[in-house]
Chain A
Amino acid sequence: MLNSLKYPLDTSSILRKKKSIKKKLLQNDLIKKNIAILGGSTTSEIKNILELFLLDKGVKSNFYESDYNKYYEDALFGNDELDKFNPDIIYIHTTNKNIIKYPFPKDNSKEIDALLSNEIQKYKSIWSSLLKFNCAIIQNNFDHTIDRSLGNLDCYDIHGKTYFINKLNDKFSQEAREINNLYINDINYLSSYIGLRHWFDPSLWYQAKYAISMESIPELAFNISKIISSIFGKSKKCLVLDLDNTCWGGVIGDDGLDYIHIGSGSAIAESYATFQQYIRELKQRGVTLAVCSKNDFKNAKEGFEHPDSVLKFDDFTSFKANWSPKHQNIIDIATEINIGIDSLVFIDDNPVERDIVSSQVPSVSVPDVGSDVIHFVDHIDKNGYFEPISLLSDDINRTKYYKDNKKRVKNQATFKSYDEFLVSLEMTADIKSFSSIYLDRIAQLTNRTNQFNLTTKRYTVGEIENISCSDDYIKIYGRLADKYGDNGLIAVSIGNIKEKQCHIDLWLMSCRVLKRNVEFAMLDELVSKCKDQDVSEIIGYYYKSSKNSMVSDLYKKFGFNLLERNDEDSVWKLDIANYEIKNKFIGVEND
């Protein structure tokens, strides 16, 4: 385990040095797992950093990443790549940015219930569609929005966003209790732990559509890795504790029972009692406890007879208080309670003892807890050593089951076909010739779009302006809106007219509107403009780049005929005399 990937995280160093950290971790002995990330916002860096944390926990992951904001489409309608991927884990990264609709101030409680139910049905249909993969599903709950227009009232008036999100999170918890294999990644807790104003970075949202700040990504990835590690049975089982200045203040052999600090007599005594209470909680939910202390056995045992001691001697399954080196005692503890040595976590305030144990038995987890008891709990808690996936260790006893199979058909948010889904989006588009207000955005798109881009031709604003004024070009842009909002200007096509032929110099679309049929609406419009100008053929070019393989057969889909192929580049032709309109789902407004 790398220290840099333990609590407290040095997030900026992880983000900067992720490539070299990865190289180091790849040398470990690893199990391989397939992890699908279905994102409601950008997930690229989340994937990169999650990879590190999983490597650190001995898992080498192979990733599938949905196209931008295609979590819903991927889950409900599947795609070949995901089907073939055979995921072991599906992680659904959604946030409050994916909430469809919040209550309006004039809505009555019934209408608000309907909104809630609509939202929850959407996720229920996602989860039930993903059942076919028979794998674990990790689902974010919702973080709070930073703004709250109702102020404090936002959390208790039924029209508040805070109230709405709390309700949704309640529902998610309810579902996760009932649906086998559904696990909640509690970003509501995580974001409040980090602090909402650090959790979300509006600038990063607008620039790159990350729904969380860069510095929060390591924390998020760390949190997910704890769940995954627990699912794969890698949680620790036994907490091994030093005694003097770890379980109580002072040295019992020197100070005597009456003078150790534990209980409520002083600030120090109270902080040790709080630590013991946390340990007792761990024990109550199934963590095995052991002692490893350099002490006379009799003195050590006596410490837990202190009237204010929260822990008692009987709470420990193994109790090593002697003068042998600690790493030997630790090996003995593992043998005695018959668990793997890698299931142990060792807490000691003394850095020398920590060093001996971690160097002699490296598979034991030895967090660098420092010497102040106030921080001990955080090192155990935030490293997620004992992360449980349920409170009953025996899976057979789990009473979770999925009871909604029969109701699936009735799910309001489920659609019988992808077509039906497209209809439900109520899409409208503006597809028109370039106009001056959009020239900047168009030039920017030509420079930024890499995947859905047939020629990857880059233009300056000046060039776009010239094309915009020239009669030798057909130049159209597409803007798409749907019931969730306006996607902005997301498609551009430029065709150069020469002798009744239209040569497509540029054909691009932003990936945020993939699979919405915008490309067909664009083609319809291009053909119509070609006809107006007496053009009879359209010539399309595909130039292979390192990133645009997703459109290698676009012209084929459009019904073009292949003219020639050079290596991976190709030229295509469409005779437009008998062209049939292809877009059926988008209401188009044109020039």
Chain B
Amino acid sequence: MTREELFDGVQDIFRDIFDEDDMVIEDKTSSDDIEDWDSLNHINLVSAIEKEFRIRFALGELMALKDVGAMIDLMIEKLK
């Protein structure tokens, strides 16, 4: 899976969770940019990503992520 495909998949998840069909995310998108992206929705996002891409994030790995780009990089690392 290319980074772009991964990115599109993640964007679909964002669109579903926040229920905005035209939501566009970028590498530098962070929780500061999306009002509803609170800690509870963060868990929902992560769970959906784990399910969709069949990966598991380890405890603590997610705390350090500052934006979508970092999240995707970590996913690529995991999918290798």
Given A203-B59, A444-B63, A450-B38, A15–B44 Cβ distance below 8 Å? yes
Report A-chain residues with C-beta under 8 Å of the C-beta of B44: 15, 45, 214
**Chain B residues closer than 8 Å to A207, beta-carbon distance:** 43, 59, 62
With contacts A204-B47, A215-B51, A444-B63 taken as known, whether A16 is within 8 angstroms of B40 at the C-beta atoms is no
Mask of A524-561 contacts with B, CB within 8 angstroms, 1/0:
00000000000000000000001100000000000000
> Is A412 on the interface with B (CB-CB < 8 A)?
no
The binding surface of chain A is classed by DSSP as: helix
A546–B17 CA distance with the chains assembled, in angstroms: 20
Determine the distance from Cα of A378 to Cα of B16 in the docked complex, in whole angstroms: 30
Chain A residues within an 8 Å CB radius of B63: 444
Q: How many residues of B contact A (CB 8 A)?
A: 21
Whether B13 sits at the interface, judged by CB under 8 Å, is yes
- Among B18, B38, B51, B59, which residue has its beta carbon within 8 angstroms of that of A206? B59
Task: Please determine whether B47 and A214 come into contact, CB atoms closer than 8 angstroms.
Answer: yes
B71 in contact (CB, < 8 A)? no
How far is B52's CA from A353's CA once the two chains are assembled, in angstroms? 35
Task: Given the known inter-chain contacts A20-B19, A208-B39, please indicate yes or no for A12 contacting B52, CB distance below 8 A.
Answer: yes
In this assembly, does B70 line the interface, its C-beta being within 8 Å of a C-beta of chain A?
Answer: no
Q: Is the interface of B mostly helix, strand, loop or mixed?
A: helix
- Among B39, B47, B56, B59, chain A packs the most CB atoms within 10 A around the CB of B47
Is A448 an interface residue when CB atoms closer than 8 A count as contact?
Answer: yes
Select one of A16, A42, A450 contacting B17, CB under 8 A: A16
Q: Which residues of chain A come closer than 8 Å to B40, judged between CB atoms?
A: 42, 44-45, 208
Complex: how many Å from CA A56 to CA B47? 24
A19 within 8 A of B: yes
Name the distance in Å between B23's Cβ and chain A's nearest Cβ.
Answer: 12
A-contacting residues, B1-50, CB 8 Å: 13, 16-19, 35, 38-40, 43-44, 47-48
Q: Is the CB of B19 within 8 A of A15?
A: no
Indicate whether A16 sits within 8 Å of B59 (C-beta atoms), given known contacts A44-B40, A204-B47, A214-B47.
no
Pick the contact of B43 from A204, A215, A547 — CB < 8 Å?
Answer: A204
Q: Which of A25-65 contact B (CB under 8 A)?
A: 42, 44-45
Q: How far is the CA of A203 from the CA of B13 in the complex (A)?
A: 21
Contacts of B43 in A (CB 8 A): 45, 204, 207-208, 210, 214
- Would you give the shortest CB distance from B11 to chain A, in whole angstroms? 13
A132 contacts the other chain (CB 8 A): no
Does A17 have its Cβ within 8 Å of any Cβ on chain B? yes
Given known A20-B19, A206-B59, A208-B43, contact A12–B51 (CB-CB < 8 A): yes
- B44 smallest CB distance to A (angstroms): 7
Nearest neighbor of B20 in chain A, beta-carbon distance: A19
Cα–Cα, bound, A19→B38 (Å): 16
What's the minimum C-beta distance from B39 to chain A, rounded to whole angstroms? Answer: 6
Question: How far is A207 from B45 in the complex, measured between Cα atoms in Å?
Answer: 13
**Interface pairs (15), CB distance under 8 Å:** A15-B44, A15-B47, A16-B13, A16-B16, A19-B18, A20-B19, A23-B19, A44-B40, A203-B57, A204-B43, A207-B59, A207-B62, A208-B43, A448-B39, A450-B39
**Which residues of B line the A interface, CB within 8 A?**
13, 16-19, 35, 38-40, 43-44, 47-48, 51-52, 56-59, 62-63
Closest 5 interchain pairs by CB? A19-B19, A214-B47, A16-B16, A12-B51, A208-B43
